[in-house]
Each structure stands twice: as structure tokens, then as C-alpha cells.
Amino acid sequence: MPSAIHYCVHAHDVHGHLFGVTLRIAQPAAIQRVSLPVWIVGSYMVREFSKQLIGLRASQGKKNIEVTQLNKNTWQIVCDTTQTLNLQYHVHAHDNSVRTAWLDAHRGFFNATSLCLQVDGQHDATHVLELQPPQHAQDWKVATGLTPVKVDRKGFGTYSAPNYDVLADTPVEIGAFWSGHFKVMGVEHEFVVAGAPPTLDGARLLKDTQAICETICSFWHGNKRSQIPFERYVFMLNAVGDGYGGLEHHNSTALICQRSDLPRLSSDAMTKPSDGYTTLLGLISHEYFHTWNVKRLRPVEFARYDYSEENYTELLWFFEGFTSYFDDKLLRRSGLIDDAQYLRLLNKTINQVLQTPGRKVHTVAQSSFEAWTKYYLQDANSPNLTVSYYTKGALVALCLDLSLRQHGVRNHSVTLDDVMRALWKRCKAGPMQEADLLDVLKDLTGRSWRSDLNAWVHSTRELPLEKLLAAHGVTIHHDPAQLAQALGLRVVEERGVLIKQVLNDSPAHTAGFAPADEWLGVEVNKSVWRLQKLDDVLLYAGWGKKVTALISRDRQILRIPLTLPKAKEHTTWRLAITEANKVKAWLN
């Protein structure tokens, strides 16, 4: 067995946001290379973590050794193979997200992909992480999914991982956080919240999260505790003034939300949760479901990760999209939302896709493959270039689920639930291809679904949503669109109207609006009016159909003739339950 790789991490300078790292390699190669990942699994963007690494030094015994940088994230050291190689460096940590690292006087957090150099040739060796307690804060403690080896009551000490992949997939939270525990089928779950306000209703957060976890574990394994693929799970939530997101890991997740979205203590036990809290619960459901769908059942291209460059797959529509379909649906099954609330969430997803012109030029499979450049590197023109594999992928799952249920009238009520569990067994909770999905569908239903997936996934044809929803008790109403959608604009209304995006083939596109324009006012019948918000256009236009928009572009005032759209030409979908029994059969 290869010797252990040992990292020692400490808070070097909390005001300078610097972690100190010492890496000990017991049996180095004669020419030892080390590198820092350029991306983190689950977030498909090259982030260049090495740009935050400072002052890499090497030594063996009392002798300093030269370090040669080979490229942006790789270094080489010529070593004596009989002596331990020691590397020391600092990492600047001031990104308050779930993807990188953070350190200040109040909190520490990191993913190993930001702090821990890979040791070439020893990827599968045991990796040990030593966490030293900070000198400035006696109340700090540790939360992580890593296996403890020797830790104190606050969690500082040594942890182990069987290889670099597990280390890279297990974030660490450090600080004076709130924490609570619950069990699901006897499996310990920990929930920690950094930045929690005094009003946090921790009991409700734990109760609701437990309901989600029980529903998802039951979804995959029924009541078979032995099949749950982890021995312990950790939720790490960072509550901030403004933020939202999550990143899945093999036995934990890192989350971020607005403090105002957390459940609050109240004398009224029946207080209805806020929309923000429902969104947070959906995020918790999403990331927990990923424990099965993408962390274990995963694209065949991700059988072994390459941290040095992009890893491409066309299957994110399945792994992110299907997870996005089930996250809210399983909230409904958990009893945390009702049918009407679920349909409102689904309604929002449908309108997001229908209001994205990129769906007409970019398939959801292409969107998956090009996530590295189009989804994660968005600009003002992104809605015209691509479609989200999250939202459209969720609608593909919806179409497949509803189609299976129709087909299942004659074939023992096959559902997408059955498909997911059959895939889990077929692929042995490991790498899968689209062919596996097609084979499972054929096995369960007796017919080929290739043409359906080709139409929904590999073409830009519209999805048969209206027909399928109607067959399951949901009617679509086509309501007049809001002015921004009707014009084809996405705007920011703070001190006036700033154009953020212009959608293709829209009235605004035809008129000549451009991103970054400031819409100052409108001229109607020789009267000029200053705009404070977009809806002022209708106030001043009256019954008129044509106005002149006054635009500031690069400090030049432009006059742009604009024909206002007719209300019936641009609509938005509104879902309504017409047959409650059919909706319940689908959602239950």
C-alpha cells in the first residue's frame, strides 16, 4: 500500500484570509510533481484555483529544495526518494461560495480542491487531513464528512480519506456554527448553520430536513437500511445577507441561503413557511437526491475525474435535470408543500424554458456538453444561445414520467420512480450511459423510447407539455405576459431602467435595443416622459401602439422607434388543477 499523504491546515492569518498548508509526502518520486485542480466536481467551470496559492516552498530534512513551476497549476521538485518531502504554502480564501474557500475572523470553510495539492503517482494512497485549532477563537469547531482518526471534542485533529477523490469531495466547515442532529433509518445526519440569526427555528429546520431525507431514502431503497450508501451525512449551510446555491458531495452538501429565508421562531406553531424557505427546502432536496443521482449513478465520462481540464458529458440533462424534477416532487411527497404549491413551482420552471429563445437553437444534450462555456460563463446573450439543462432537463423528466404513466395503464403503472431504481441496480450505483436509460425503459415497458428521447433531448422541437399535463388533470391557461416578457427584455429597475438582456425575435430586438442600454424615457405625441420603472411605458403610452424610446448608450442619447406588442401576441402559462384525483395519483 502506498504511504499516506498528510496535509496540515491552519488559519494562518484570518484578517488576510490566508490558510497555511503543510503537505508531507513520505515516499516522494525522484521527480515529484504536484498540482492543484482547475475545477471542482459538480460545478462545470474552470476556476483556476491555483491563482490563490502563494509561496510554495519545498524541503527535505533541513535542506531547502528548488520548486519549478511547469504550468499554471503544476510544480515539479527533484527529490531524494529516501526522505520525506515537505511542501509549505498559503492559500488566499475569500470566496464566500460553496465552490472554493473562505477564511475570516468569524468562519472558515474549504474544499480540498482549493487547498490540497494532488501528489502525482499517489492519487489512490490514503490521504490524511490534520486540522489545527485557531488561536484567535476558542469556540470554533469542525463539521465534515471525512472519517475522524484522532480528534478532540470540537473536531480538531486528524481525518482520513482513502484517496484524493474522496478528500476532494468532502468539504470542511470551521467556526462557531449552530448544529443539530437527526437519524434516518438509523443513519446519523448532522445539520450545521453558519451565520444563523438568533431567530432560527432549528427544530423546524431539522424536522423538515428529516422528512425530506426519509422520503428520498425510501424512494431509492424502501425500508432497507443496509442499502443506504453512506454511514453518516452532513449538511453545511452558510446563511448570508444575499446568496443562494448548493454543491453536492458523496456524504455531505455545502449550501448557501439568505438568512431571511431560514425558518423563524414564532409563538404560532401554524405559521406558514415563506416562499424563500420553501426554495431552501427544494435546494436541500435537490442536493440530497444527488447523493444517488450523480455522486454514485453518474455519467460514464465521470468514472474517473481529471482535475486538470474540462470533463465533458452530454448527460447533465439527466443528472441535473431529473434531479431538478424530483426535488420539488419529493417535497410534495414529504408533505412539506401541497399540490397547488407544487404546480406553482412547476409553472415557474415551464415559463423559464418557454421564455428562453436558446431552446430553439440548442438541444439540451448540447447544453450539457457545453456547460463549461455556455451555462457557466453566461453573458447578456446567453438566453439566445442556450437552454438550461436544469430546467429543460426537468421538463424532459416530466414528459417521460407522464408518458410512462399513460403507457403504464396497460403495463402495471410504470413510473419514472421505477426507471431510476432500475438504473441504480443495472449500473450497480456507478457509471451509466444514455443507452442504459433506453434499455431500462424498454425492459420496463416493452417498447423503444429512442424516438421520444431523440425528440426531447437531441432536437430543438417543443416538448408535448400541454397534452401530457391535460391527460393528468392539469389545464394550461395562456395569460397575457408581463411587459418585460412581451417586449423581450430582461431589465434591472433600481434607479431607472437598465437593459440587461434582449431576447431574439422580440419587439425590443426588432427595434434595436441592446444590453447595457439605459432606457431613460419615452416620447408620445410630442410629450417626453422620464421612466422610473418599465411599467411606466404603458402609463405614458396610453392607447397608443407606437412610442419613441430615449436610450442612453455609451453616453450618447438615441431615439428608437418602438411598436408596442399586442397583449394576445405574448402569453405566459398558468397551470390549473381540473381533475384533482389525477393530479394526486401523479404526485403521490
Is the residue at 119 inside a domain?
Answer: yes
Q: Is there a single domain that holds both residue 135 and residue 109?
A: yes
Q: Is there a single domain that holds both residue 230 and residue 209?
A: yes
Is 80 exceeded by the pLDDT of residue 258? yes
Is the residue at 235 inside a domain?
Answer: yes
Is 90 exceeded by the pLDDT of residue 266? no
Is the residue at 337 inside a domain?
Answer: no
Q: Which residue has the cell 455519467?
A: 299
What local confidence, expressed as pLDDT, does residue 408 receive? 59
Is the residue at 338 inside a domain?
Answer: no
CATH code of the domain in which 216 resides:
1.10.390.10
Evaluate whether 189 touches 181 at the Cβ level (below 8 Å). Answer: yes
What is the separation of C-alpha 428 from the centre of its chain, rounded to a whole number of angstroms? 25
Is 70 exceeded by the pLDDT of residue 575? yes
Burial of 33 by CB count in 10 Å (0-12 exposed, 13-18 middle, 19+ buried)? middle
Q: How far is it, in rounded angstroms, from Cα 151 to Cα 501?
A: 52
Q: Is there a single domain that holds both residue 16 and residue 160?
A: yes
For residue 160, what are the β-bridge partners?
A: 128, 147
The stretch 78-91 carries a mean pLDDT of 97
Whether the model clears a pTM of 0.85, i.e. scores above it, the answer is yes
The stretch 255-262 carries a mean pLDDT of 97
Is the residue at 406 inside a domain?
Answer: no
Q: Is there a single domain that holds both residue 250 and residue 109?
A: no
Name the packing angle between helices 434-445 and 391-407 (round to 10°). 20
The stretch 271-285 carries a mean pLDDT of 91
Q: How far is it, in rounded angstroms, from Cα 294 to Cα 429?
A: 10
| Nine cell digits for residue 273 | 413557511
Picking from 175, 190, 206, the residue at the C-terminal end of a domain is: 175
Q: How far is it, in rounded angstroms, from Cα 413 to Cα 419?
A: 12
What local confidence, expressed as pLDDT, does residue 270 receive? 58
pLDDT one-digit tens code per residue, 470-524? 999 999 999 999 999 999 999 999 889 999 999 999 999 999 999 999 999 999 9
Calculate the CA dihedral of residues 256, 191, 248, 40 and round it to 10 degrees.
70
CATH code of the domain in which 155 resides:
2.60.40.3650
DSSP for residue 4:
P
Could you tell me what percent of the chain has a pLDDT over 90?
A: 93
Which has the closest alpha carbon to 363: 353, 355, 372?
353
Vertex 554 angle, CA 548 and 556, to 5°: 50
For residue 239, what are the β-bridge partners?
A: 257
Is 90 exceeded by the pLDDT of residue 588? no
Q: How far is it, in rounded angstroms, from Cα 318 to Cα 410?
A: 26
What local confidence, expressed as pLDDT, does residue 267 receive? 54
What local confidence, expressed as pLDDT, does residue 340 receive? 96
Evaluate whether 186 touches 252 at the Cβ level (below 8 Å). Answer: no
pLDDT one-digit tens code per residue, 118-149? 999 999 999 999 999 998 889 999 999 999 99
Q: Is there a single domain that holds both residue 169 and residue 182?
A: no
How many domains does the structure of the chain reveal?
3
Q: Which residue has the cell 484555483?
A: 49
Q: Is there a single domain that holds both residue 132 and residue 223?
A: no
Cα separations in angstroms, 103 against 97, 113, 170, 244: 11, 15, 17, 19
Is the residue at 302 inside a domain?
Answer: no
Is 90 exceeded by the pLDDT of residue 456? yes
Domain that holds residue 282: 177-265+274-290
Q: Is there a single domain that holds both residue 134 and residue 233?
A: no
Q: Is there a single domain that holds both residue 171 and residue 182?
A: no
Q: Is there a single domain that holds both residue 68 and residue 47?
A: yes
Q: Maximum Cα–Cα distance for the chain, whole Å?
A: 88
**319 phi and psi, to 5 degrees?**
-75, -35
pLDDT one-digit tens code per residue, 379-419? 999 999 999 999 999 999 999 999 999 885 454 689 999 99
Confidence of residue 226 (pLDDT cuts 50, 70, 90): confident
The stretch 443-455 carries a mean pLDDT of 97
Q: Is there a single domain that holds both residue 31 and residue 151?
A: yes
Is the residue at 147 inside a domain?
Answer: yes
pLDDT one-digit tens code per residue, 7-27? 999 999 999 999 999 999 999
Q: What is the DSSP string of 97-141?
A: SSSSEEESSSEEEE-HHHH--EETT-TTS-EEEEEPPPSS-TT-E
For residue 490, what are the β-bridge partners?
A: 501
| Nine cell digits for residue 65 | 529544495
Confidence of residue 3 (pLDDT cuts 50, 70, 90): low
Q: Which residues contact 198 (CB under 8 A, 6 or more apart)?
A: none
Q: Is there a single domain that holds both residue 17 and residue 164?
A: yes
Vertex 178 angle, CA 176 and 182, to 5°: 140
Q: What is the mean pLDDT of the chain?
A: 95
| Nine cell digits for residue 578 | 381540473
Backbone CA torsion sign across 341, 347, 348, 349: positive
CATH code of the domain in which 551 resides:
2.30.42.10
SS3 state of residue 345 = helix
What local confidence, expressed as pLDDT, does residue 409 receive? 45
Q: How far is it, in rounded angstroms, from Cα 420 to Cα 537?
A: 49
Q: Is there a single domain that holds both residue 161 and residue 44?
A: yes
Burial of 582 by CB count in 10 Å (0-12 exposed, 13-18 middle, 19+ buried)? middle
Query: With helix as H, strand as E and coil as C, how does 25-76 read?
Result: ECCCCCEEEEECCCCECCECCCCCHHHHEEEEEEEECCEEECCEEEECCEEE
Is 50 exceeded by the pLDDT of residue 359? yes
Which has the closest alpha carbon to 287: 264, 256, 261?
256
Which has the closest alpha carbon to 283: 315, 316, 258?
258
Is 70 exceeded by the pLDDT of residue 1? no
Is 90 exceeded by the pLDDT of residue 4? no
| Nine cell digits for residue 365 | 444534450
Evaluate whether 67 touches 58 at the Cβ level (below 8 Å). Answer: yes
Which has the closest alpha carbon to 371: 354, 358, 386?
386
Residue 401's Cβ-side half-sphere holds a number of Cα atoms within 13 Å equal to 24
What local confidence, expressed as pLDDT, does residue 268 receive? 59
Is the residue at 368 inside a domain?
Answer: no
Q: How far is it, in rounded angstroms, from Cα 586 to Cα 577?
A: 12
pLDDT one-digit tens code per residue, 185-223? 999 999 999 999 999 999 999 999 999 999 999 999 998
